[in-house]
Each structure stands twice: as structure tokens, then as C-alpha cells.
Structure 1
Amino acid sequence: MEQVRRKCFISYHHADQAAVNQFIRDFDHTHDCFIARGLGEEMPGDVIQSTNTDYVMSKIRERFLSDSTVTIVLMGGCTWSRRYVDWEIQSSLRRGQTITPNGLLGIKLRSFTSFPPRFENNLSSDWPRVDCYARHMDYPTSTQALSDAIEAAYARRTTHDHLIVNPRDRMSYNRQC
């Protein structure tokens, strides 16, 4: 049976660029585990130059999220403090009559310290007894482990969308890390 490759939007803090590049090379370029979408050296895409939050979010949705089905948040030491990560997660969780949210998968990089608040809102501290929308994992040790996690996040888009916590308020500024 052929492996399905999902289009995954990659959200991360640019201080983790080297680890992100390695992740893309390891699992997209080398093993074709998924198709990377987003901003970065290993992914095609233009930087969005604006200070208007609504404009930036609409461009993120239009350019990167519109054809992706899973958002992978690569979490390092300061990812939790970045406003763009918050905006990307918020846009990923957006839903409506004709909009299906992206699945949400967090991957802990070696430098991981804590979850971004909007990501954490979609976790349960009492999991697995209490279900929730998002899932997270340590850095994958195999292509199969990552593929399975991506597929589970993809499935949760429709089976668990009622568990999404996505308030309208968003980070205006980066926080001190």
C-alpha cells in the first residue's frame, strides 16, 4: 500500500531554523513523509511584510494554509513566545461552513521548554482520560512514527473539531523568552 503524503504547514520560531531545515530534509526531502508548506530556507514561500495582523493572517491562510491539511508546530526553546506562531495556530484552527481546520501536531525539538499557549489550550492535562484536539510528540525517531502522527492529526480535523479551543484574541507582541 502506498504512503499518503499530506501537505503540512510548518510553524516554528526562526531561531530554530537549523533544526527545522534538518527536519524538512530528514522527513520531506529524504523520505517523502509529507509535503512541507511554509516560510523557510527548505520550503518555498515569500515572507509577508506587514504589521497589520489581519492582513498577515489572511495571507498566511491564502498562501500556505489553503492547501494544507495538517499544521506541524516545531517547538523549541522560545516558540511559545512568538506572535507569528500564535497567529499561524489560530489560522490553522479556523473553521466554518466551508472551512475545515487543519489537524494540529506539535513536535518537540531538543531545545523545547513549553507549549505555545494556543497550542496548550488544545491539549488536555488529563489526557488520555480526557480527549482533546491537538497531539504532540518528541522528535520522531522514524518516518513511520511521524507518518502515523500526521495521519492521526489529519483524521482529528473532522472527528474532534468540536474540541477546538481558538479564542479570537491573539498575541500582539512577542513575549520575552
Structure 2
Amino acid sequence: MNIEKKTRNCFISYHHNNDQKYLSELRKTVKSMKVSDYSLKTDIGHLTNETIYNKIRSKMRTCSVTVILIGTRTGHRKWIDWEIWASLRGYSHPFDKKKSFKPNGLLAIFLPGQNHSIPDRLQDNIDSGYAVSMRWKNLERDFESKVNYAYWKRNNATNLIRNNRNRQESNSINFLGIKI
């Protein structure tokens, strides 16, 4: 009996330099459901802010869940904050409903290690109950249910979205435990 797998269009946000290996592993490991990965495949940091933001938004339009891989530098990265910000913004096109979209659900995956750097905007949504989270070690067992729960929240709990922070204007550094 061949059962067709559900498809979820996910945008995956991560620190390219530090966490690429985890993205590659995620793509190999997740077999319980078909995941269409609309994330940016290469580092485009050399482009202008406006160009990068437009690329992010065009990818977001086709996604329903944003998966954020949380490592040691994730919360310090400008573009990860912008990806989360864009994920939480819906858009109603005035003339063409096909160009309208809802905010994405959020799934935070805590990578192995103990020094996680959680983006402030993501932490706001974990605290409010909108963002779903899980540990990397449970990826194979829990990924499908967590993505589906984030998808459910996208449709049923948008009142929990917290997206009122200013966008991060630059990457920050960690100096003695303080983000500067």
C-alpha cells in the first residue's frame, strides 16, 4: 500500500557558516513527510538589503512554516531576524487573492550543544505560545508532528504572533554573554 505523504512548504532559516551541516542532515533525515524547502540555498550577503529582503519575501509567499535552526550564533544574525519578521507578516493583495498570504507558522529546532543563541523575535513568539520548538535529537521522531502543529497555529492562533520589534540592522557579537 503506497500512502502519499503530506507536503509542507517550509522556509528554513539558519546561520550559513555555522549550521549548514545541520540543514544538509535535516534534508537527509526527514522521511516521514515530504518537505518542500524554499529556503535560500546560498549566502547572498553581498547583495543590497532591499534585494535580499525581496528575495526572502518572494520565497515566503509559497511557504506555510518557517523552520529556524537554533545554534550558537543564530540570534546574532541580521538576516535570520529579517526572515522571522517576514514570516510573521501576512499580506492581502487588493486585487488578486492568489498573491495574498497568511503569516507562517514557526518551528524552532535547537541544535546539539548548550549555548543556543535565540533570536529575540523568535523568543517573543516562543513565550507567547505561537512558535513551536523541539530538540535536534528528536528530529526523526517529532519533525512531522511539530511542522503540522506550527501549520495549525498559523491557521488558528495568529492572535499570539509577536512581531513588534524593530528589525535588527546588523549582525551582533557576543561579548561576555552580552549581545552588542
Which TM class, normalised by the smaller chain length?
Answer: 0.7 to 0.9
SS at match of 1:104: strand
SS at match of 2:81: helix
Alpha-carbon distance between aligned partners in 1 of 2:22 and 2:166, rounded to the nearest angstrom = 30
- Residues 1:113 and 1:48: Cα distance change in structure 2 (over 3 Å): closer
SS at match of 1:60: helix
1:65 maps to 60
Alpha-carbon distance between aligned partners in 2 of 1:34 and 1:170, rounded to the nearest angstrom = 28
Contact 1:48 1:59 in 2 (8 A): no
Indicate which of 109, 112, 121 corresponds to 2:111. 109
Is there any run of 5+ residues in structure 1 with no aligned partner, and where? 125-130
Contact 1:33 1:147 in 2 (8 A): no
- One-letter identity of the residue aligned with 1:35: S
Offset at residue 23 of structure 1 (A)? 1.3
Contact 2:121 2:165 in 1 (8 A): no
SS at match of 1:141: helix
Contact 2:61 2:101 in 1 (8 A): no
1:86 maps to 81
Offset at residue 81 of structure 1 (A)? 0.4
- One-letter identity of the residue aligned with 2:110: K
Alpha-carbon distance between aligned partners in 2 of 1:165 and 1:46, rounded to the nearest angstrom = 27
Contact 1:33 1:146 in 2 (8 A): no
**Number of corresponding residues:** 163
Contact 2:70 2:111 in 1 (8 A): yes
Contact 2:76 2:117 in 1 (8 A): no
SS at match of 2:86: helix
Q: Deviations over 1:98-118 (max 9, x none)?
A: 330111000011135131111
Offset at residue 26 of structure 1 (A)? 1.3
Larger Rg: 2
- Residues 1:32 and 1:148: Cα distance change in structure 2 (over 3 Å): closer
TM-score (norm: length of structure 2) = 0.81
Q: Deviations over 1:112-153 (max 9, x none)?
A: 5131111001122xxxxxx52111110153545110000000
Is there any run of 5+ residues in structure 2 with no aligned partner, and where? 93-99, 175-180
Alpha-carbon distance between aligned partners in 1 of 2:150 and 2:29, rounded to the nearest angstrom = 20
Indicate which of 154, 159, 163 corresponds to 1:162. 159
- Residues 1:135 and 1:32: Cα distance change in structure 2 (over 3 Å): closer
Alpha-carbon distance between aligned partners in 2 of 1:59 and 1:24, rounded to the nearest angstrom = 22
Alpha-carbon distance between aligned partners in 2 of 1:132 and 1:96, rounded to the nearest angstrom = 22
Alpha-carbon distance between aligned partners in 2 of 1:167 and 1:7, rounded to the nearest angstrom = 25
